[in-house]
Each structure stands twice: as C-alpha cells, then as structure tokens.
Structure 1
C-alpha cells in the first residue's frame, strides 16, 4: 500500500499501549506493591534488577517527510526571493539617471485626468568608453573622451493620454536653432546661450538638450532616454537581431555598412552601422538617415511586442539587463519599476497607430550644409503638443483634425481683455515688445508689463477662475499652444515669457488655442510611416554619396567594387 507522498508504507503503527512494556500484574508470591511505578522500580532495585525504562517513541515516516519537504520549500522560497531581490537590485544598479529640473516643461492632463508622455530619445556620438571608441572610431589621437558628445539622433516620442496612439518625430541633427543658457550638473560646463546646431546642446548635459528641443518645438518634454554606440549593440543583440530591408546593394564606406539587396537580420556592430549610415540612404544627408532609423526602430518595436520575446524568461532577462546597462535616463524613469511601467504603456499602443515622422526642414540661407524649420513643422509640433493622433483608428493617416480636449469655450473680444506681460528671460525689452503686439491687435490698453519673479524656461499664460475663454483668445493672438495655458488661483491673465520664446511676437511653435492642428499639414513631407509596415525597405541613395580609393560613387557601385570586403551580416 502506498502512502500520500508516493512511497511504500512501512509496518503498521502500534497502538499507544503496544509501545510500552506490558505491566506485571503482581510480584511473584504476592499482591502488587502499593505506590505505582515508583514502588515497582524501588522493589526491582531491591532485588538487584534494573528498573524498566520507557522506550522512546519512533518518529513517523510521514512526519519526517513533511519536515524535509517543509525545509526544502523554505529554502526554495528564500533562495527565489534572494535571487529576485538580487536581480532587481542588480538592474537598478545598472541605471544611470539625471534630473531634468523642469527644463522641458510639464504635460497637462486631458479632460479625463489622463496625462500624455513625451520622451526625448537621444543617440550620443560620444566616445566615452573603450567599447565606444572601438565601435565609433576616432579615438586614436584623443583616446577615451569625456563629456556627453553630440546628440546625433533626436527623436521626440509622444504617447497619447489615452494610450491609443503614439508619434515618433525625428529632428535632423543639422537643424540650426537657439540653444538656451544651460549648466551641466555633472561637470558644471555652462553656456550663456547661442545660435547653433541643435545636436551640440548635449555638450552641456541631457537637460540642456531637452530644453533646446522644448524651446524649438513648444512640446512639453518630461523625460529623456540617452544611449551610445555600445547601447545600440546591446539592445539589438538582446532582442536576437533586428530585421530590416534595403532596396539595393549598399556599401557606406563611412559607417562601413555593407549589405546586399533584400532582407537582413542585424545584430551587434551591423545594427550600429545601419542606424549610423547617412551616406547610404536617401540623398546622403541626415534626412535620409532618419527614415532608415524609423524602419529599424519599427522593426525593433515589433520584435519587442512579439509573443516569443515577451514570454521567454531568458529573453526578458537579456532585454532588462541590456536596457538598464545601455540607457541613461531622467530621474522620472530611474528605476526598473518605472521603466517596466513605461514599457507597459508603449505595449498598449497598436503598431498600426505608431506614426514615425521627420520634422520638415528647409535649407539654411546662410549655410547650405545646415537646415532650419520648414513648412509644416509647426503643425507637426502642435499636433504632438495638443495630443492629436496622426492616424485614424484603422491606422490610416489622419487627414482631418480631431480635437482630444474639451470643447472650446465661447470667445471673448480682445478689447475686453487686459494681460499682465512678465519678462522671465534675461533679454531686455521682451515684455514691452509682446505687450505692444497685443495692444496693436486690439487688446485692452490696461495690458501692462513687469519682470517675472524668477527666470522661466517655459512660457505660460495663467488665468483666473472663469477666465479660460479670455486666455484662449490671448493665446490664439500670440500663437501660443493650449498646452501652455494654466489655471491659477488669482484673477486676471498673466503671461510669463520664458526662454522658449527668445524673440518675436508670435510664439515659435505656432499652433492655435481652441482649435486642433492641421494633421494633414503635419504629415506632409514628413516621410510619415507606421510601425506595422514590415515590408518597407530603406531606399539606398542613387547619388554619389560615398568614395572608394578616392573615387566618388553610389553606394551600389561601391558594393560592387568592394567584392572582397565582407558584408556586415556575414
């Protein structure tokens, strides 16, 4: 017969009386001595015989098994908890984070109390480790470098308040703009502000890069994620490679990307070569590179969201370990718990409703190798700032604006509105300039000026209870997006001009209060595509954008001429 744990049962357990020696009814030759067991033992000693001993109870086998099982379970629980705690602490220890100090503004909740998420994703060209020097080159004379480098990749990732859609907008690294006054908290490098290439702001810390993008676009940015060359390698390896497609044979002799026409799965250095290639795709400039990066990122997102990746414990560990080692983030994302929550929010958005776009540009009049904000860019900025989707529910491009906020309040004539304009910048005369512009547009002559109590990074228009309509009228006149309006506890309208509005009488991000951005204009000439487009190939440049042995040629010609050079995915 088997016991409950599967083993054979031992001999039958004795009854309680069976476990004790039988009592003697009486001593020989007489009645039982009085006094019970003590008397019996005494009588035995008197006759020179040892007193009978009580036998120890045998331990039941079932109880012994239970004790062993319980001990094993306890050790297992403690061991699992210990490993889990070690793993959690290990991942948290990988993360490097910095404070934004509010330099990117703050998102506003929608009518239902839900808040969008805006993250600036930066790819640094810094060679700050031996691994980065090996991957990126350029360290033969300088050695391992210090500082943050330049943000050669800049993407504003917007996740809508209701988590139904997302927009990823790339800003070309060659864009010229105003960089505000910044100080890097890490090494105390500072600037008083200048007009220059947008990617250079990272030299003054991640918060400065965030402030620069916020000032250019008017989009509140409350988080950042930065990764370097080795970070791209780690992430692509952790997902088991990223599937991409190229429209023709390509050999970028600068990034060293070499691939034959068709589909490829890229890992490690090959993945880095693909995302760094600017001479292999499009017109050979940074504009073509942003499109190929969108193809790569869309493929990586599809891999992240695939069932095979998310249900494989070893793959999940690899992803978590690689991500925490590869990324530098702001304090708001500086823990495993927060990164997991962010991943969960991204996972809620269907790939068909994730739109990739590149900021529209125009040639810089003073430098043909640089660009400035072009037609349509302000609509793209406003659509993101106003939390508008660039796709419909079916994933098709949105051609009509669709407001996500509460209905617009009734308009109030400008003549009935007075605004207190405060200068929150270090630029003399800004408040007077904007004040005069408002009066010229018919606002009440009671519109006054003052200095703000402290410097302001972000321009805000604060209004009192019941004065939202007045604020919307003023915001529309100034081109100020609704995301810059705040309800205060006092009365009247107070406009604080921040560092994101250094000049002019119309807010640089464009937009309009009380109405939605033109989403058709937002995606026009923005190379828009969605993350579910798995069959899209990166367009290899037809121009002579590379050189081999001093001879200019197209990437396809270079591929044919370099037959002895192995392909990147060999």
Structure 2
C-alpha cells in the first residue's frame, strides 16, 4: 500500500479529517442582466415537457396542476454584485441570442434532511459543490457545459444579499464560497472570472438530487474499477450501474474516488452523471409519459431555486424547449483548466489556457467535434453578414472605409496592433492607427464603438475581418471605433474560424467529453481514502470493506 500520494493542486486535506469524523460516526431584445429588486439541463427539459404533456393529460384539472408546479418554484435575484451586472447578451447576424445558465449544486445543511445526507452538520453556511456554466448556442446547434472546480482561488466581487441583508467586500478567495451571499453572488463571481454573460441560474441541494434521480427511475453510470470513497460513501464494483437515491448523491459528490482524488476528479463523475441522466430520460420514455413526467417535474420544481427570470413553469418551458433542440451528441462537457495555487498546494487557480476556453464560449463558438473543419455559429453568421453587406475586400468603391479605426493590442503577442493596422490600411481603412499605449491582456477580441452613429462602422469592420457580431460592444471609453485584439486572435488578418485545431486548443487539458459518448469514470489509483485508519486506494478500500453495501444495492 506504499503508493505515492495524489499530485497537489486540488482541495483534498483541508476539510477531510473533519468531514470523515462527521460522516463516519423570451424577448428578442438584448437583455442587461442586472441586480434584481444543481443539476441543470435534464431537469429543465423535464419541466418544459411537463408544461405541455401534463396539462393536456389532466384536462380540466390542468390549471390546478400548473398552479401547483408554479407554487413549488423558489426564486431570487439573478445578480447581487455591488457593482456592474451579469453581462449584456448580443445577437448574432440573424438576430438570435445564445443563452448561458449557471447550474449550482449547494452543500447547504440548512435542513435536517440535508444535514443527514451531507454530514458535517456543524457547518451552517452554504457553499457550491457544483458550478457548471451551460452555454446554449444562438443557432441552437450545440451546448457546452463547463465545470468550475470548487477550490478555484480568484478575485471575488463585492456582494449584497437583499434577502438576508448580508454583504461582503471585494476580496480574493475560493469561488464556491460566494454562494454564502446567495446564488446571485455566485453569478457575479463566475461572470467576473470568465467574462461570459450569464442569463439565468438553477440551484439544487442534496435532497433535490435524490428526489429527482428517484423520480427518473435511476441514472446509469460506469466506473473503470472497483471504487469505495470512504468520505462520500460511494461503493461500486467495476462496470455499469443504475443509481438512485443516496447512491446518486454519493456519485456526484465523490472526489476522493475519481481522477487524482482532488476536486478536479469530482467533475468527471458529475459530467458522467448528467450524461447518464439525459440518456435515461430519453431511453425510458419519460418525456412521453405524462404520469412519469409529472412525478419528475413535481420533484424538480420542489428542489430547484432559480432566478426571477425563470420563476414560472411557462418560463422554464420556454428555456427547456430551446435546449431540447440540441441533439445529445452535440453536447460537450468540459472543465476549466487549472494550475496549482502557488500560495496553497491544496487549491487551484485558473490556468492560462482557461482564457481561450472562456473566450470561445463568450464568442458563441462551438466546441463540439464535428466532421471536418466546420465553422462555428458565430463565424458563419459573420460571413453571412459580410455577404449581406456586399463587402468586397478587394474594392474600396462599394463600401466606404474612410473612417478612423484605432487598433489596441491586448493579445500578449508583441507587434500585433501594428500588423493589423497595416492589414486594415491594405483593405482601404486609410485612417487606421495603432494604439501605442500599454494595457493588460484580455481573453476575447472586441470591436468597441461610441454612440449609435458609430455602430454601422463597427459592423462594417466586423464583417471585413470575420469578427463575430457577438464581439461588438458599445463603450463610452473609446472615440469612434476601436479594434481590441484579444488572446483569442494572435495570428492572421481575419478572425480565426472554429476548426478542429482551434477546438483542440480551447479544450486542451480540460477533460472534455461528449454527452452521448461518455466513457467509464476513471477511478483514482492514488492513496486518496482511509479505511480503518489505513491510507489506501479506492480500489483497495472496496476489497477491504466487505461488510459495506454497494451504493446500487
């Protein structure tokens, strides 16, 4: 049993001993997501189907059913940061909007039931066990679901919880702790970290995971080897299993059993569980059976807390309908790339590669691996805009480019602004100039304009350079039109298409998987658990714990 310990770089020891002791005795206009006065997509889809099928099946009792489900839903403000907002969503060239939903799984022990399930009953606060940013593309062709490890250290915004009166100043801390000031503070923290606009949140607690997994009849998962996580209590033999109840909760909470035994390993299980939930709902015909569907929707609406923009069955149904347009094989699960925190080996910080992943999501670019070097929604719509505008890059007669463009380099590549200024002058932008001032780098390219009079010029520039319309934004900090070159555009004279190469770069070291092609979750080979006082691997613990029942028994 003298194996090496797991690599540093994830939360593992800080609460481990204490936990072990405790557990073992839609509008078409752009929307600005500002301050208002669990597990995601499968449950949204279920609720949406219920709104149609259950009401039809119940006939005259439909209104009662609808009212009861509506009454189940708890909601709060989307954004509770003390400054700013959750971002401004931008349309593509066809006027369509992407949708981003932050799915939060809370470890709250506020109820007796959650205390019993989660252990550590002395903890009265609420942290995020799960933070999953789900991006639905503007053309409804793909979904990207990015996990943010709960032990990520980052700059956190100031927040004020209108419901509790609690407030907190800006500080550096662990991102999952923002939930202590309400889900709106988690939204503020994730938006600040990623730069991605957040339209909605969905939050679920321990008991909610159990209720919904039971209502669906169980979720099929697979593990690569025998596993016993003595902290979450997950115990499964190698292979496939159908999990319900506490077994389902144990699976999504397990971190010591998977990967390297850190919180990064936990995301493997969560992605596999969500993939299994999607398949389970489809395979068992739940969406076509009003009786089953009502039971699931009743459990889901009781378990969820959502933002005020999703606070009714009709609103949830609208979102579910849009998400249901995406085929399972066009859903990509990924995890934000991380590096070890230099100040604390048991915590992580965003890796430099994460900036490219954030920028790809913000630009509405697909991360689903299709056939060939297919372009993203954003790039395709930009090309369509260029065609519509009849832009001819070789002619300066058809479209006037005689307006000032300032080019700023925020790409971290020396000389990029000068390169692009020359390229613009060759295209006929004779008044293009290089901004020689220095500034910090930024993940995503932007075209900024000041005032409505400059909007058409900004759109013209975007069309010429193949820049997605989602990257055009108004700003009072610029004069005229400014091209800001981000880290997502470091070479070439036109904005890069989404190709296999660019997808690979964005997904590097992110443990990406496809919802339809998910494989067995890798069981940790390190000494990440302790059984009867002896440190060992989860597989060794499984063999030793002969009197402990498996989680699917």
Quickly name the TM-score band, shorter chain normalised: 0.7 to 0.9
Confirm whether residue 563 of structure 1 aligns to residue 546 of structure 2: yes
**Aligned residue for 2:99?**
117
Q: Structure 1 residues 124, 446: closer, same or farther in 2, change over 3 A?
A: closer
Q: TM-score, normalised to structure 2's length?
A: 0.72
Question: Using the alignment, how far apart are the partners of 2:289 and 2:401 within structure 1?
Answer: 62
Matches within 5 A, 1:292-441: 292-306=269-283, 308-393=285-370, 402=376, 403-407=379-383, 416-417=404-405
Q: Structure 1 residues 333, 447: closer, same or farther in 2, change over 3 A?
A: farther
Gaps of 5+ in 2: 1-54, 395-399, 409-415, 422-431, 438-445
Measured after TM superposition, the shift of residue 538 of structure 1 is: 0.9
Determine which structure has more spread, i.e. the larger CA radius of gyration: 1
Asked whether the equivalents of residues 481 and 511 of structure 1 are also in contact (C-alpha less than 8 Å), the reply is no
**Aligned residue for 1:132?**
114
Confirm whether residue 552 of structure 1 aligns to residue 530 of structure 2: no
Asked whether the equivalents of residues 415 and 444 of structure 1 are also in contact (C-alpha less than 8 Å), the reply is no
Q: Structure 1 residues 490, 196: closer, same or farther in 2, change over 3 A?
A: closer
3-state DSSP of counterpart to 2:366: coil
Asked whether the equivalents of residues 225 and 329 of structure 1 are also in contact (C-alpha less than 8 Å), the reply is yes
Confirm whether residue 107 of structure 1 aligns to residue 83 of structure 2: no
Measured after TM superposition, the shift of residue 484 of structure 1 is: 5.1
3-state DSSP of counterpart to 1:405: helix
Q: Structure 1 residues 511, 218: closer, same or farther in 2, change over 3 A?
A: farther
Q: TM-score, normalised to structure 1's length?
A: 0.70
Q: Structure 1 residues 111, 472: closer, same or farther in 2, change over 3 A?
A: closer
Measured after TM superposition, the shift of residue 106 of structure 1 is: 2.6
**Aligned residue for 1:428?**
none
Asked whether the equivalents of residues 382 and 481 of structure 1 are also in contact (C-alpha less than 8 Å), the reply is no
Of stretches 192-201 and 298-307 in structure 1, the one that deviates more from structure 2 is 298-307
3-state DSSP of counterpart to 1:466: helix
Q: 2:517 aligns with which of 519, 526, 533?
A: 533
CA RMSD in angstroms comes to: 3.7
Q: Structure 1 residues 254, 392: closer, same or farther in 2, change over 3 A?
A: closer
Kindly provide the CA deviation profile for residues 236-273 of structure 1, in whole angstroms up to 9, marking residues without a partner as x: 11110000011111100000111111111000100000
Gaps of 5+ in 1: 1-76, 421-436, 449-458, 496-504
Asked whether the equivalents of residues 472 and 514 of structure 1 are also in contact (C-alpha less than 8 Å), the reply is no
Matches within 5 A, 1:146-545: 149-306=126-283, 308-393=285-370, 402=376, 403-407=379-383, 416-417=404-405, 461-463=448-450, 464-468=454-458, 483=470, 485-486=472-473, 492-493=479-480, 514-516=495-497, 518-533=502-517, 536-545=519-528
Kindly provide the CA deviation profile for residues 139-181 of structure 1, in whole angstroms up to 9, marking residues without a partner as x: 1x46xx3x5x111211111111111111111111111111111
Q: 1:85 aligns with which of 63, 83, 90?
A: 63
Asked whether the equivalents of residues 449 and 478 of structure 2 are also in contact (C-alpha less than 8 Å), the reply is no
Question: Using the alignment, how far apart are the partners of 1:414 and 1:258 within structure 2?
Answer: 69
3-state DSSP of counterpart to 2:230: coil
Question: Using the alignment, how far apart are the partners of 1:231 and 1:351 within structure 2?
Answer: 24
Measured after TM superposition, the shift of residue 301 of structure 1 is: 1.0
Question: Using the alignment, how far apart are the partners of 2:128 and 2:402 within structure 1?
Answer: 43
Asked whether the equivalents of residues 102 and 202 of structure 2 are also in contact (C-alpha less than 8 Å), the reply is yes
Question: Using the alignment, how far apart are the partners of 1:445 and 1:262 within structure 2?
Answer: 59
3-state DSSP of counterpart to 2:297: helix
Question: Using the alignment, how far apart are the partners of 2:434 and 2:299 within structure 1?
Answer: 60
3-state DSSP of counterpart to 1:406: helix
Q: Structure 1 residues 545, 336: closer, same or farther in 2, change over 3 A?
A: same
Question: Using the alignment, how far apart are the partners of 2:295 and 2:489 within structure 1?
Answer: 43
Measured after TM superposition, the shift of residue 483 of structure 1 is: 3.7
**Aligned residue for 1:423?**
none
Measured after TM superposition, the shift of residue 349 of structure 1 is: 0.8
Asked whether the equivalents of residues 387 and 404 of structure 1 are also in contact (C-alpha less than 8 Å), the reply is no
Confirm whether residue 98 of structure 1 aligns to residue 76 of structure 2: yes
Asked whether the equivalents of residues 275 and 296 of structure 1 are also in contact (C-alpha less than 8 Å), the reply is yes
Measured after TM superposition, the shift of residue 381 of structure 1 is: 1.2
Question: Using the alignment, how far apart are the partners of 1:414 and 1:195 within structure 2?
Answer: 46
Measured after TM superposition, the shift of residue 466 of structure 1 is: 3.0
Asked whether the equivalents of residues 447 and 462 of structure 2 are also in contact (C-alpha less than 8 Å), the reply is no
3-state DSSP of counterpart to 1:173: coil
Question: Using the alignment, how far apart are the partners of 1:389 and 1:354 within structure 2?
Answer: 10
Q: Structure 1 residues 205, 460: closer, same or farther in 2, change over 3 A?
A: farther
Kindly provide the CA deviation profile for residues 333-386 of structure 1, in whole angstroms up to 9, marking residues without a partner as x: 111111122222222111111011111111112211111122432221122111
Measured after TM superposition, the shift of residue 405 of structure 1 is: 3.3
Q: Which has the higher contact order (CA 8 A, sep 6+)?
A: 2
